[in-house]
């Protein structure tokens, strides 16, 4: 950030009084600008024994497969954001079952939430954001072509827990490429799916 969006004065980057982190501050009107993590919400959509994946038609990771997910908008819940993104990326209507993974991606300032969801019907289609959309069994997943570690984590957890009887936990995961010693994964609760 170079200029104040309130008065167009060049901003300074320093720690404001009473704070502990540097912020962009306007020396003229004294507006403080906060930069906070972005929330990504999506679904792990299930139909029978398969999961729905989308081949990305946008950057980053153009051409790679992913679960439908994207940035949350103002005025919606995380569950609404996950369902909207599933529609926008796959034209798939889902029923959300439960929050499944909560991943703090520290090195890129993101929080990613995946919800377990059931497709209401095996109806889906490519969109401007996805060049292909398809259902995959576990053996058909293109593991080497998945777009993000968070997608890989969610899918591996899902197939592992399904094989162990179908009790699905809630998983808190911390990923920090810059400080790998802080990475962790914790399963907190279980629910039947």
pLDDT of 173: 94
Mean pLDDT taken over the chain: 94
> What are the pLDDT digits (tens) for 16-25?
999 999 999 9
Peptide bond into 71 cis (omega under 30): no
Closest alpha carbon to 38 in 6, 84, 80, 69: 69
Res. 189 pLDDT band, cuts 50 70 90: low
Tell me the pTM: 0.86
Q: Is the pLDDT of residue 3 over 60?
A: yes
- Alpha helices, DSSP H only, in the chain? 78-90, 149-163
Q: Is the pLDDT of residue 45 over 60?
A: yes
Domain ranges in the chain are 1-35, 38-192
User: Residue 187 in 3-state DSSP?
Assistant: strand
The strand ranges marked E within the chain are 12-14, 23-25, 32-33, 38-47, 50-56, 65-66, 69-71, 94-105, 110-119, 130-136, 167-175, 184-192
pLDDT of 188: 72
Q: What value does the mean pLDDT take over residues 29-44?
A: 94
pLDDT of 140: 98
Please state which architecture CATH assigns to domain 1-35: Single Sheet (2.20)
- Phi, psi of 113, deg, nearest 5: -120, 125
- Alpha helices, DSSP H only, in 14-148? 78-90
> What are the pLDDT digits (tens) for 75-94?
999 999 999 999 999 999 99
Strand partners, 43: 115
Task: Given CATH 3.90.79.10, say whether it is the number of domain 38-192.
Answer: yes
Q: Is the pLDDT of residue 103 over 80?
A: yes
Buried b (16+ CB within 10 A) or exposed e, 171-190: bebebeeeeeeeeeeeeeee
């Amino acid at each position: 950030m170079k200029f104040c969006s309130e008065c167009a004065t060049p901003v300074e980057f320093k720690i404001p009084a009473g704070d502990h982190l540097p912020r962009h501050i306007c020396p003229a009107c004294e507006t403080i600008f906060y930069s906070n993590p972005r929330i990504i919400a999506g679904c792990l959509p299930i139909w029978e024994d398969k999961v729905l994946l989308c081949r990305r038609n946008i950057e980053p990771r153009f051409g790679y497969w992913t679960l439908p997910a994207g940035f949350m908008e103002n005025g919606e819940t995380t569950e609404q954001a996950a369902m909207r993104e599933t529609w926008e990326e796959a034209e798939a209507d889902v029923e959300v079952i439960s929050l499944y993974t909560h991943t703090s991606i520290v090195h890129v300032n993101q929080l990613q939430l995946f919800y377990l969801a059931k497709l209401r019907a095996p109806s889906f289609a490519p969109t401007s954001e996805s060049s292909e959309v398809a259902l995959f069994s576990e053996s058909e997943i293109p593991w080497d072509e998945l777009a993000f570690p968070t997608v890989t984590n969610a899918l591996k957890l899902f197939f592992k827990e399904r094989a162990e009887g179908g009790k699905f936990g809630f998983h808190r995961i911390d990923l920090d490429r810059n400080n790998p010693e802080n990475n962790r994964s914790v399963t907190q609760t279980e629910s039947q799916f």
